[in-house]
Amino acid sequence: MDATNLIDEIYEAAVVPERWAGVLDRLAARAGGVGTILFAAAPNRFQWTSSRAIHAVAAEWVASPFVADNLRGKRLVPLYEPRFLTDLDAIAAEELEQDPFYRDFLRPRGWGWCVGTSIRSTSGDSIVFSIERLYADGPVPRETAAALDQFRPHLARASIIAARLGLERARASVAALELIGLPAAIITGRHSVLAANELITACGAFEIGAFDRVRLSDPMANERLQLHLDVAGDAGLSFPIRAAGGRPAFVAHLVPLRRAGLDVFSGAAQLFYLTEVGRGAAPSAAILEALFDLSPAEAKVTRLILSGGTVAGIANSHKIQPETVRGQLKSVFAKTGVRRQAELIQLLGGIQSPGAPGFSL
């Protein structure tokens, strides 16, 4: 692929986040790499995506202590030089031999060299494109890194476009939830409010504090929220907010947003929404699909579980294997951030769907 075509793909990915996987593959091919990791790093926030070929190893890295403590992050990422850099541009060869990240993580997995660039996003995050190369293939030549520099301005512009579109998508999402009577906000990995609808700002339970950080008016609920955000990061959570001052009691829900290129750039990390206790109804399949990116089959199984169904009963009534139902339910758990059916019912049972049969939380 020539440079012009790759540049076109970069701008297309800015608008269609699913295209980033292909762009990351093309960048890796130009550097003789096995794949590219794209991530946004900031205090209390780390979001990422990668080439499909290296996703498993990249996920290992993200789950390891090395994601927060490695020489690349200390030496290369903060430079913000307007060019692609290799390991050897900031780290001495002898340091690489002794560094635990290279010695104990990268090399046992066949990796060991990279070429990448850091871009400062409009939100102040570090947007990093890191092309990974096998250790056996040797360090990335300086001329290879220089050849990649022609793409850096386009990657930077695409990052800005993607971030702006991500903000618009967040605003549209909470506006759509308002139409079905759901007070909602989108929260970033820094725990600040990216977008909020009028229902949640007017409910009396939700506040936007200093630096746009999300807060709750109920001190006990707010303490639980802040502790969860600081300790558990983007894990899902449901918890009560007590009635006070004439306003009703709510159940607050935090749902992690799935990692996609758009979320990497915009900073959107979690959906926060409230359901009023005692007024809930089982959500329609269409609402479930929209809220959690469920397939029609997953949404149908979820709806049936919320309505009191069991795996065996659903399988029997719909003439499918119980293993099929369990597989769909497992996918639903992953997308909604829960681990058990009881948690799923607690999480979704209070979403109100006009015209749906009653289902108390």
Q: What is the pLDDT of residue 51?
A: 92
CA-based nearest residue to 226, from 251, 254, 191: 191
Mean pLDDT of 283-310: 78
Q: What is the mean pLDDT of residues 245-251?
A: 84
Percent of the chain with pLDDT over 90: 43
354: tokens are 């006009």
- The residue that leads in pLDDT, 26 or 292, is 26
For residue 34, pLDDT beyond 90: yes
pLDDT for 261: 54
**In terms of Cα–Cα distance, which of 268, 275, 345, 278 is closest to 310?**
345
Task: Decide: 31 and 140 in contact? Cβ < 8 Å.
Answer: yes
Banded pLDDT at 55 (limits 50, 70, 90): very high
Q: What residues contact 176, with CB distance under 8 A and at least 6 apart? A: 290
Average pLDDT over residues 114-122: 87
Q: Are 203 and 250 in contact (CB under 8 A)?
A: yes
* Range in 71-75, 144-148, 189-193 with the lowest mean pLDDT: 189-193
CB-based contacts of 63, cutoff 8 Å, min separation 6: none
Range with the lowest mean pLDDT among 76-90, 288-302, 318-332? 288-302
The tokens for 291 are 């809220």
Choose between 117 and 232: higher pLDDT.
Answer: 117
CB of 42 closer than 8 Å to CB of 57:
no
Indicate the pLDDT class of residue 3, thresholds 50, 70 and 90.
confident
What burial letters (b/e) apply to 52-89, b meaning 16+ CB within 10 Å?
Answer: ebbeebbeebbeeebbeebbbbebbbeeeeeebbbbbb
Between residues 352 and 97, the one the model is more confident about: 97
**pLDDT of the residue at 250:** 84
Mean pLDDT, the chain, rounded, equals: 84
H/E element, 66: none
**Quick check: 202 pLDDT over 60?**
yes
| 355: confidence class by pLDDT, cuts 50, 70, 90 | very low
pTM (predicted TM-score): 0.68
Please name the residue ranges forming H helices in the chain: 3-15, 20-30, 55-63, 71, 93-98, 100, 142-148, 152-179, 198-201, 219-232, 261-266, 285-292, 296-306, 311-317, 322-336, 341-348
Provide φ and ψ at 71, rounded to 5°: -65, -35
d(CA 266, CA 234): 15
Q: Which residue has the higher pLDDT, 116 or 344?
A: 116
| pLDDT of 190 over the 50 cut | yes
Please give the pLDDT value at position 44: 58
Distances from the Cα of 251 to the Cαs of 46, 240, 242, 245, 308, in angstroms? 27, 4, 9, 17, 20
Give per-residue pLDDT as tens, 280-292: 555 566 666 666 6
More confident call, 56 vs 181: 56
CA dist 190 and 269 (Å) reads: 9
Select the highest-mean-pLDDT range: 283-292, 300-309, 328-337.
Answer: 300-309
The CA-atom distances, in angstroms, between 109 and each of 21, 56, 72, 115 are: 21, 11, 17, 17
Measure the CA–CA gap between 191 and 213, rounded to whole angstroms: 6
Residue 60 has pLDDT above 50, yes or no: yes
| Cβ 139 vs Cβ 87: under 8 Å | yes
Residue type, 151: F
- CA 318 from chain centre, in angstroms, equals 34
Least confident of 91-100, 173-182, 220-229, 278-287: 278-287
3-state helix, strand, coil in the chain (%, to 5): 50, 20, 25
Q: How much is the average pLDDT of 257-280?
A: 72
pLDDT score for 138? 95
Hey, CA dihedral for 204, 209, 215, 220, is it positive or negative?
negative
Radius of gyration of the chain (CA): 23
Q: Please, what is the end-to-end C-alpha distance for the chain in angstroms?
A: 55
pLDDT value of residue 324:
94
